[in-house]
Structure 1
Amino acid sequence: MNPLLCARTICLFTGTLAAFAGAERATATLANALAARGHRVHVLSLWGHTPVFPLAPGVAHHALFAARRAFKRHYVSIVRQVRRYVREHGIEVMIDVDPMLALFTVPATLGLPLRRIAWEHSTYASDLGRRARRWARALAARRYDAVVVLTDADRSAWQTHHPDAHAQFVTVANPLGITMPGTPPAHGDERCILAVGRLIADKGFDRLIDAWTSIAADAPGWQVHIVGDGELREALLAKARDAGVGDTVRLLPAVSDIAQHYARASIYCLPSRRESFGLVLLEAKAYALPVVAFAADAGPRALLHDGVDSLVVDDGDIPALADALRRLIGDAALRRQFGLAGYAHAQDFRADAIAERWEALWTDDVPNNLPATEATR
C-alpha cells in the first residue's frame, strides 16, 4: 500500500459468500487484496456462515443468518444488526456489493461518519423488473459517495438516469479471482472447449450445445465441458443427449479452484445472453485461452478484442458461433496467438492493481471520475 494512504477499516456488505457466482468471487478477491495492502477488512453477509471462496486470515467474515430468509420480514432486525456491526467495529468505508443493499445500509448508517460506496455487478438495464431495485439505485445515487460500475457503458447509463446525483460514478473492472501462471500455459492438445457459469438461461449454454451439435462430427476427440451448478442441469444434459452429442458434452460441478479447468482446456466459449462483465473471460485469458463469444451486453464487448484475443460473433448467431469454434479447433497456431494476446491483457486486472484503484475512492483528493481501465476505454 502507498505509505501516504492510511489503512482503513472497510466492510464489504453482501447477500452471501456461500454461492459459486461471479459477484461472490469478486467480493472475496477484493477483500483479500485490500487486506494484503494493509487495510482492516470485514465481509458482512446477509446469510451463509461458510464462504465457498477462501478468505485471507486478515479478513473477518460474519453472516446475519445461517440460511436465506424472507428479508422483508426481518427488515428492522437487519438494519439494527448492520448498525450494531458498523459501530462495534469502527467501519470507515462501507461497500455494498449490490446497490439493492442501500435499502438496508442507508437507515443502518444514518448519522455515522463513514464513506458509502455501491458496487454494481449488473448492467443498468438489468433491473429485473423490480421497482425496489430502481428505488435502491436512486437512493445510492443520491446518498452515496460513489457507485462503482464495471464498464464505461454502464457509467454513462447511471449518469443519464441520475443527472443530479451526489455520488460519483466510477468504472473499475472486477479483479482476477485466480492467480495467473508465471508464464502463459502452452495447453498442448487438450481438445476441450470450456464454459463456466451458473446453469441458468442467461448463460446461454443451450446455445453452445446447439453450435457444438453442428460441428461435433468434424472435431473428433474434442469435448465440451460446462462447469457450474443450477436449475438447468438436467435440461441441458437431455438436450445434449437428444442432439446426439451426449457423449462429448460434460456438465461438471462448480468448484472454488476453477483454475484446474482453465489449465485443461484449449478454447473458452462464452455463449451468454446477458453478461454485465464476464469475469470468466479474464480468467480464461489469464490461462492463455483463446475465446469465442457472442457480443452480448457491455461486458464481453469491453473485454474482448475480436481478431486479437478472440472471435466475437453477433449475439444469437449460432451458425457463426459454430464457425468460430470450428476455425479455432482447426488452427492451433491461431489458438496460441490469441491466447498469448489474452494473457498480456489479463495482466491489467491483477487483484492488487484493482485494489489500488478502489483505494482512490476513499482518499480526500479523489477526482470526480477516475479514468476507465484499459479494458473499458
Structure 2
Amino acid sequence: MKRPPVPAPVPAAVPVSASTSASTSASVPVDVNSEPGRDVFFVSNSVDELGGVTSWSHQMARLFTGRGHRVHVVGITPSEVVQELGEVPYPTTTLYAGQPPRPGRARAASMREQATKLTALFRATRPGAVVIVTQVWAMEWVAQADTRGLTVIGMSHEAFAYCRTSSRFPRVRKHYRDVDRMLALTREDADLWIGQGMNNASYLPNPLPFMPEVPSPRTAKVVVSIGRLHHQKGIDMLLDSWAEVAPRHPDWHLRIYGSGEEEEILQKQCTALGLDGSVDWMGPTNDVPGALRGGSVFAQSSRGEGFPLALMEAMVTAVPCAAFDCAPGVREIVHDGEDGLLATLGNTGELARRLDRLMSDKELRDSMGERARINIQRYTPETIVRRWEDLFTFLER
C-alpha cells in the first residue's frame, strides 16, 4: 500500500450539496456516458451480520453496481446473527467456514492462508481497482494480502470519541495509517483523526437508505425506536426516559424494534419500571418504512454512533426525532430545534423532556417532521455515490 499523496482532506471533504430529488429508492441509474466501471471490493468482518455497517455495505454495493462498476463483497467469517439480504446482483465471498483460531501460531498461519485467497481475488482485477475496508478487524487480513496497484480505503463507521474508548482505536491507528485514504463519516471526526497523525484522513457521509413516497401521517400516538438491543444503543436509558414521560401520556406507546443480547435484561428493566403496559417489544423488522410510518416520534438513545442510518430513515419518513447528541454525525443529521431535538448524552431526564415536547405538540411534530423530510435529502444516494467516484479518480492519480 502506498502513502497518500496529500496530507489533508481533499475533494471528498467538500460539503454535500443540497438536493431535492424525489427518487423513491436507494438506487442510482446507470450513467451510460460515464467512464468505464471499476472493480470495487467491500471487505467487512462478515458479509451478512446484523448491523448498520452491513446495511451500508450492501447499499453502496448496489449503488456502484447500478453505476456500471464490478462489485465483490467479501467477509472474513460467517455471521452468528444473520441479516436477511435477499438476492444481490454481485458475488459475495466468506473466507473462513467458521471462526479463525485463537491468537497464536495457528491463527497467524490461517491469516496468511486466507490473505492468499484475497490476493487471488485482487490480482484478477482490471486497472483502477479499489478495495474498501469497512471495519478495521477485516483490515488485518487485507494488510497481509498483495494490494500493489490497488487503491485501498479504510473506514471507521463510528465517531472518533466512541472509537477511542474501544480496542479498535489502536488498531485503526496501526492498520489504516498507510492506506491511500482513511475515511471517517464527518469532517469533525476526520479532523480528530488527523490530530492523531492520520494525515490520510478525510470523510464521506452515509447516503439515505431509501426515499419513501408516502411519509408518516404522524397521527398514531406511538414513539418508535429501531436498533440492536445492545449496550451501545442505550435502550436501557430510553426506558429510563420513558418512565418519566409515559405517566404524562397514558395513551401513548413506545414501540421498540430490534433484537440482541440484551433483550432479556431490558425486558426485565421494563417490568421493574412498571412500563409493560406502554412498551411494545416488536422484534426485528424487514419493513423499516412501515414501522416508521406507524409512529409520530422517533427516539434514538445511543451511547455512540457514526452517521446513524436509523435517524436518517426516520427523518426521510417525516418522523421528527428526539436523540442523544452522542456523535458529530448526529449533529450533522439533526438541526436541533429545526427538524428535531437533541439531548445531552446520558441525560435521560433531558431526553424525556424532548420526547414530551414532541408528544404534546402536534403542530410542532408536523412542522419538524416535514422539515426533516426536506432537509435530509441533502444526502441523496446520487450525491454520495458521485462523491465516492470523485474520490476514486483523485486517488488514482
TM over 0.5: yes
In structure 1, how many angstroms separate the alpha carbons of the residues matched to 2:240 and 2:367? Answer: 27
Answering whether residue 204 of structure 2 is matched by residue 157 of structure 1, we say: no
- Confirm or deny that 1:96 pairs with 2:133: yes
Partner residue of 2:256? Answer: 226
Contact 2:324/2:345 (CA < 8 Å) preserved in 1? yes
Out of 262, 273, 295, the residue aligned to residue 292 of structure 2 is: 262
Letter of the structure 2 residue corresponding to residue 99 of structure 1: V
Change (3 A) 1:296 1:65: same
* SS of aligned partner of 2:228: coil
Q: How far apart in 2 are the matches of 1:350 and 1:68?
A: 37
Correspondence 1:52 to 2:83: yes
2:176 aligned partner: 140
Residue equivalent to 2:20: none
Change (3 A) 1:269 1:364: closer
Q: Which residue of 1 aligns with 2:160?
A: 124
Tell me how far 1:100 sits from its aligned partner: 3.4
Paired residues of 1:273 and 1:315 also in contact (CA < 8 A): yes
* 1:238 lines up with 2:268 in the alignment: yes
- Once residues 255 and 69 of structure 1 are traced to their aligned partners in structure 2, the CA distance between those partners, rounded to angstroms, is 31
Output the CA distance in 2 between the equivalents of 1:66 and 1:359: 33
Structure 1 residues 224 and 291, CA, compared in 2 at 3 Å: closer, same or farther? same
Alpha-carbon distance in structure 1 between the residues aligned to 2:53 and 2:66:
20
Q: Which amino acid aligns with 1:148?
A: L
Change over 3 Å in CA distance of 1:256–1:27 after alignment to 2 = farther
Q: Tell me which residue corresponds to 1:7.
A: 37
Classify 1:366/1:170 alpha carbon distance in 2 versus 1 (closer, same or farther; 3 Å): farther
Q: 1:84 to 1:153 in 2, by over 3 A?
A: same
Partner of 2:56: 26
The one-letter code of the counterpart of 2:373 is: Y
- Residue 112 of structure 2 is aligned to residue 80 of structure 1: no
Match of 2:93, as an amino acid? H
- How has the CA–CA distance of structure 1 residues 128 and 70 changed in structure 2, closer, same or farther, with 3 Å as cutoff? farther
How many angstroms does 1:127 deviate by? 4.1
In structure 1, what is the equivalent of residue 206 of structure 2?
A: 174
3-state SS of 1:363 partner: helix
SS at match of 1:108: coil
Contact 1:285/1:339 (8 A) holds in 2: yes
The offset of 1:86, in angstroms, is 1.6
Please, what TM-score do these two structures have when normalized by structure 1? Answer: 0.88
One-letter amino acid of the structure 1 residue matched with residue 207 of structure 2:
P
1:197 to 219, 223, 227: 227
Deviation at residue 56 of structure 1 after TM alignment? 6.2
CA distance in 2, matches of 1:83, 1:366: 20
2:281 to 251, 260, 278: 251
* C-alpha displacement of 1:182: 2.6
Residue 94 of structure 1, CA deviation: 0.4
Distance 2:335 2:236 in 1: 24
Cα distance in 1, alignment partners of residues 191 and 102 from structure 2: 31
Q: Give distance in 1, aligned partners of 2:83 and 2:233.
A: 21
Q: Partner letter of residue 216 of structure 2?
A: P
CA–CA separation in structure 1 for the residues paired with 2:221 and 2:97: 42
How far did 1:107 drift?
Answer: 2.4
TM-score (norm 2): 0.84
What is the SS of the residue equivalent to 1:277?
A: coil
What is the distance in 2 between the residues matched to 1:353 and 1:184? 22
1:59 alignment partner AA: Y
**Counterpart AA for 1:150:** L
CA distance in 2, matches of 1:33, 1:347: 17
Task: Specify the code of the residue in structure 2 equivalent to 1:100.
Answer: W
Q: Deviations over 1:343-370 (max 9, x none)?
A: 0122122223211111111114789xxx
Q: Decide whether aligned partners of structure 1 residues 82 and 129 sit closer, same or farther in structure 2, where only a CA change above 3 A counts.
A: same
Superposed displacement of residue 129, structure 1: 4.1
86-95 or 266-275, which deviates more:
86-95
> Could you tell me how far 1:140 is from its partner in structure 2?
1.8
Cα distance in 2, alignment partners of residues 32 and 212 from structure 1: 38
TM-aligned CA distance change 1:19 to 1:289, over 3 Å: same
Residue 64 of structure 1 pairs with residue 64 of structure 2: no
Q: CA deviation at 1:212?
A: 1.0
Using CA pairs under 8 Å that are at least 6 residues apart, name the structure with larger relative contact order, 1 or 2.
2
Superposed CA RMSD in Å reads 2.3
Tell me, which stretches of 5 or more residues in structure 2 are unaligned? 1-30
Partners of 1:81 and 1:121 in 2: CA distance: 26
**Cα contact 1:138–1:162 (8 A) shared by 2:** no
Identity %: 25
1:107 aligns with 2:144: yes
Judged with a 3 Å threshold, the aligned counterparts in structure 2 of structure 1 residues 56 and 174 are, in CA distance, closer, same or farther, namely farther
Deviates more, 1:85-94 or 1:294-303: 85-94
Secondary structure of the residue that 1:65 maps to in structure 2?
A: coil
For residue 4 of structure 1, report the CA deviation from its aligned partner. Answer: 4.4
Counterpart Cα distance in 1 of 2:101 and 2:304:
27
- Cα distance between partner residues in 2 of 1:8 and 1:51: 29
Contact 2:43 2:134 (C-alpha < 8 Å) held by counterparts: yes
